[in-house]
Amino acid sequence: MTGNNLGTLEQLDSVSINSVLRQIRSAVLDDLLREGIVVGKTNIKLTTSRTGQGGKRLWFRCPNCQRRVGRLYLEGNRLVCRLCTQRYYLVQRYKGMIENSLK
């Protein structure tokens, strides 16, 4: 259809699915940061940090100590971070034992 007088696409306003998704993600993130999430009966607050590329990384706040963490553990009937459980990874318990036996 050459020769029509309708103009070009650049003259029209438009909306892209990517811009809509960015707005939705931003609104959902704002709501999550304000309200937190409920897991079981525990309301868990969320926080963010900046990434090296200018993005945001989402974190839990430990309901017990308020530390910023990426994982919570169910201990009894409460969710807590690994430091609040006062437990260690198996590799931490035996660290040094193998090295010392090789001497």
78 and 42 Cβ atoms separated by less than 8 Å: yes
Residue 21 forms part of a structural domain: yes
Question: In this structure, is residue 10 part of a structural domain?
Answer: no
pLDDT of residue 30: 92
Give the pLDDT score at 5.
Answer: 74
| Owning domain of residue 45 | 16-101
What pLDDT sits at residue 27? 94
Q: Based on the structure, what is the number of domains in the chain?
A: 1
30 belongs to a structural domain:
yes
In a domain, 41, yes or no: yes
Residue with tokens 């029509």: 4
Residue 73: its pLDDT value, please? Answer: 94
Residue numbers in the chain where pLDDT is lower than 50: 1
Query: Is residue 7, in this structure, part of any structural domain at all?
Result: no
Helix (H, G, I), strand (E, B) or coil at 89: coil
Question: How much is the pLDDT for 4?
Answer: 65
